[in-house]
Amino acid sequence: MRACAPHPSSAAGARCWLAWLLTACHALSGAAQLQPGWAWHYRQYQHEQSPEDRQIYSETEQLARQNQRGLWQGNTPPEPPWDYRVRIKAERPTSKP
């Protein structure tokens, strides 16, 4: 998956290491939001994830749902942001000249 080894011993290696670190931190921050139930695994873009990340994200969200953490508390299912945006757009009055 990586095009270069993440080792900061040269300028090119340092750039690669920084890119690797930012990618790893981004993946970890997403999973960190899923664990307490603060976010959804946005499956529309899962093709951009590695198979490992896809599995981690999916399983982490499923555990949050099962344990009723964050968004998954209570009896009323939360409205996903992509559905909310569609609904708000449909409810917006159309402007006529």
CA dihedral 56, 57, 61, 66 (to 10 degrees): -20
The residues, ordered by sequence, that sit 6+ positions from 88 with a Cβ below 8 Å of its Cβ are: none
Whole-angstrom distance, CA of residue 33 vs CA of residue 36 = 6
Q: Read off the pTM.
A: 0.64
Q: Each residue's pLDDT tens digit in the chain (97 positions)?
A: 344 445 555 666 666 655 655 566 556 677 888 889 999 998 888 888 889 888 988 999 999 999 999 999 988 889 999 999 999 999 988 766 6
Structure tokens at 94: 């159309």
Domain ranges of the chain: 11-91
Polymer length of the chain: 97
Phi, psi of 17 (to 5 degrees): -60, -45
